[in-house]
Chains A and B, each alone.
Chain A
Amino acid sequence: MNSQTHPIETELLEVSLGPQHPSTHGVFRMNATLDGETIVKLKPVMGYLHRNHEQIGEGITYIASFPFTDRLDYFCAMSNNFGLALAIEKLGGIAVSERGEYLRVIMAELTRLINHTAVTGFLLNDMGAFGTPLLYAFREREKILDLFEAASGSRMMCNYVRPGGVREDVPEAWLERAEKLVDGYPAFLDEFEKLLTENEIIRQRCQHVGILPKELAINASATGPLLRASGVDYDIRKVDGYSIYSRFNFRVPLGTVGDVYDRYYVRILEMRESVKILQQALKEIPTGAAISPKGLAMVKAPRTFRPPKGEAYGRIESPKGELGFYLVSDGTPQPYRYHIRAPSFVNLTILEDMCLGHKVADVIIILGSIDIVMGEVDR
């Protein structure tokens, strides 16, 4: 044998991850090209859950689109309703009742608690911590879903927010129950953080994995916790001040590195801010009608609502990012064009840039940290 070493011949391997795989959060597929175990190319494949939502929306009245928005991002039904309601209000010039505004904000923030708790649980599930953190998260989610059921009649497909307010006022003693839950939430967060934040295994798995630089995040128009974890101070609640968010005192938590750990931690901090907003809103909520007269007329007779010709774009800071509804009216009871800017979809487009150079196991947690719901990606 001579001393010359022969390089081992290697070739790239293409692996299809998903669409049916528990770690891909629904029917999502990634075509990954691997060099050994390192990702050199990754192509997201979407469209397995396409339900033609936008086209259906153009054939039905404005009100009838609400139950379909529940099914966009099925974790955040209330805030999806809220976004569409804002767009319709802009289009038709509908005033919102004061109590309705507060109830909508309360619901949207409770939804943020649900989403961020659940996604943290799922992220840990992806990391290999099977069960425990996810079940703790779901235990808390259950309590909020109970509140949603009491107010709207359904746990997940709430269909509760309407243009002009909310469909019906919350039942008796609901606000007290909500207050009790919100006051008890920081204790749960403390416990959850004790379980996760300082954990060495989580830190080693998450820190400096899937770094998204500030510039790239802005260029890719990422929004939500993903963008804020990269250190960009952009929260539509602050920037736009839609609804009554400008009345509340809260902070926008920012990350510094932009890795998976920052995204996890930004969500935890955001939940603490949501609790603050909720406490203020529950204290200040006025009495009165939950829906304005014009909104009520629209609920009772959807076809009488004929907005003037024009267009409107309503956007909210949904738990996943900027959720926008674009409506074009041609003067008929049905929208001429109905488009949704889904945060999950836009955030998913920079998956490859975050994954390059990492191992296969890291791809799973990077995907988990983006926080996608396929119902919203494919629509």
Chain B
Amino acid sequence: MIGIGVLRGMGVTFKTFLETYPWGRGLLRALRIPTTNGLVTVEYPDVKQQHHERFRYFPFLVYDQTPDNLRCVACKICEQECPPACIHIIGPAKDEQGRPAKAHGRTYPVEFDIDISVCMSCRICVDVCPFDAIEMDNQYELSGFDRFGQMVFNKDKLLKPNDYFQRIKPTEAATVDARLAAKKK
């Protein structure tokens, strides 16, 4: 009979409609029809979605204890490997005589800029960094009005402590810390 298929389809729609209300789910349960929790949307600005630990957005630079003790030594590997070429490094820093200046026994970059409007969050910089100096952040509310003032992150904006890294990505930070400790020995 013509029309049966349409009616059956409407039955599916009606069941989904019922699933979005608690009383509807109760009704379906009473009728012994298997249900799911029909609500899947997150009301974003009020409720924030719980992201997975590996969720990545833009990179940041890790420092230990104090901001001048950053792990980056300005080797420029990430700058070279970045597919859209959004990393820009000036350095390593030099002293008056032209010799490489050191802080905490390491060379350091004078400038480290990431143009986050170009960055495509691919995580290749993290993979290639031999010093575990760059990691992926999970901050995503970064919109702004100004192309170069707000979208180009300089060193001050990129530097974040290792505690922060441990907080947002505990598993990954633990392996990185273990690797660095093994290297020190």
Least CB distance, A378 to chain B, in whole angstroms = 18
**Cβ–Cβ contact A61 & B81, under 8 A:** yes
Which stretch of B3-11, B90-98, B146-154 is in the interface? B3-11
* Residue B164 interfacial (CB < 8 Å): no
A200 near B2 (CB under 8 angstroms)?
A: yes
Residue A8 is within 8 A (CB to CB) of chain B in the complex: no
Complex CA distance for A319 and B97, rounded to whole angstroms: 61
Interface residues of A in 136-172 (CB under 8 A from B): 136, 139, 142, 146, 149-154, 157, 159, 167, 171
A141 CB → nearest B CB, Å: 11
Do most interface residues of chain A lie in helix, strand or loop, or is the interface mixed? helix
Q: Residue-by-residue, is B1-45 near A (CB-CB < 8 Å gives 1, otherwise 0)?
A: 011111011011100100000000000000000100000100000
B166 at the interface (CB under 8 A from A): no
Over the window 119-139 of chain B, the binary record of Cβ atoms lying under 8 Å from chain A Cβ atoms (1 yes, 0 no) is 011111001101000001000
- Cβ of B83 < 8 Å from any Cβ of A? yes
CA of A201 to CA of B4 in the docked complex: distance in angstroms? Answer: 11
Q: Is the CB of A67 within 8 A of B54?
A: no
On chain B, the residues within 8 Å of A194 by CB distance are: 8-9, 11-12
- Return chain B residues, CB-CB under 8 Å to A203: 5
The docked-state distance in angstroms from the alpha carbon of A154 to that of B52 is: 9
Q: Is the CB of B83 within 8 A of A150?
A: no
Binds B, one of A296-304, A321-329, A364-372: A296-304
- Contact in complex: A198, B124 (CB < 8 Å): no
Among candidates A139, A150, A199, residue contacting B52 with C-beta atoms closer than 8 Å: A150
Are B9 and A67 touching (Cβ within 8 A)?
no
| Residue pair A301, B128 in contact (C-beta under 8 Å) | yes
Known: A60-B83, A151-B54, A302-B128. A142 touches B6 (CB 8 A): no
In the complex, B171 has a CB within 8 A of chain A: yes
Whole-angstrom CA separation of A302 from B54 in the bound complex: 22
Tell me, rounded to whole Å, the shortest Cβ–Cβ distance linking A121 to chain B: 14
List which A254-309 residues lie within 8 A (CB) of chain B.
299-303
Residues of chain B lying within 8 A (CB to CB) of residue A313: none
Q: How many residues of B contact A (CB 8 A)?
A: 33
Within 8 A of A (CB), among B34-88: 34, 40, 51-56, 80-83
Tell me the smallest distance from the CB of A163 to a CB of chain B, in Å.
13
For the complex, what is the distance from the CA of A64 to the CA of B127, rounded to whole Å?
A: 11
Could you tell me the distance between the alpha carbons of A152 and B123 in the complex, rounded to whole angstroms?
Answer: 10
Q: Is B13's CB under 8 angstroms from A195's CB?
A: yes
CA distance A70 to B16 in the complex (A): 33
Given contacts A67-B83, A67-B124, A157-B120, contact A149 B55 (CB under 8 A): yes
* Chain A residues near B56 (CB-CB < 8 A): 153-154
| Residue from A56, A71, A132, A299 within 8 A of B127 (CB atoms) | A299
Answer whether residue A252 sits at the interface, using C-beta atoms and an 8 A cutoff: no
Q: Which 7 A-B residue pairs are closest in the complex by CB-CB distance?
A: A67-B122, A198-B5, A153-B54, A153-B56, A64-B83, A150-B52, A195-B9
If A66-B122, A153-B54 are given as contacts, then 16 extra A-B residue pairs at C-beta distance below 8 Å, sorted by A number, are: A64-B82, A66-B124, A139-B40, A149-B55, A153-B52, A157-B121, A159-B123, A191-B12, A195-B9, A195-B12, A197-B5, A199-B9, A201-B6, A300-B127, A302-B81, A302-B128
Q: Interface of A with B (CB < 8 Å)?
A: 56, 60-61, 63-68, 70-71, 132, 136, 139, 142, 146, 149-154, 157, 159, 167, 171, 187, 191, 194-201, 203, 299-303
What are some 19 contacts across the A-B interface (CB < 8 A)? A67-B120, A68-B83, A70-B122, A149-B54, A149-B55, A150-B54, A153-B52, A153-B56, A154-B121, A157-B121, A157-B122, A171-B52, A194-B8, A195-B8, A198-B4, A198-B9, A199-B5, A299-B127, A301-B128
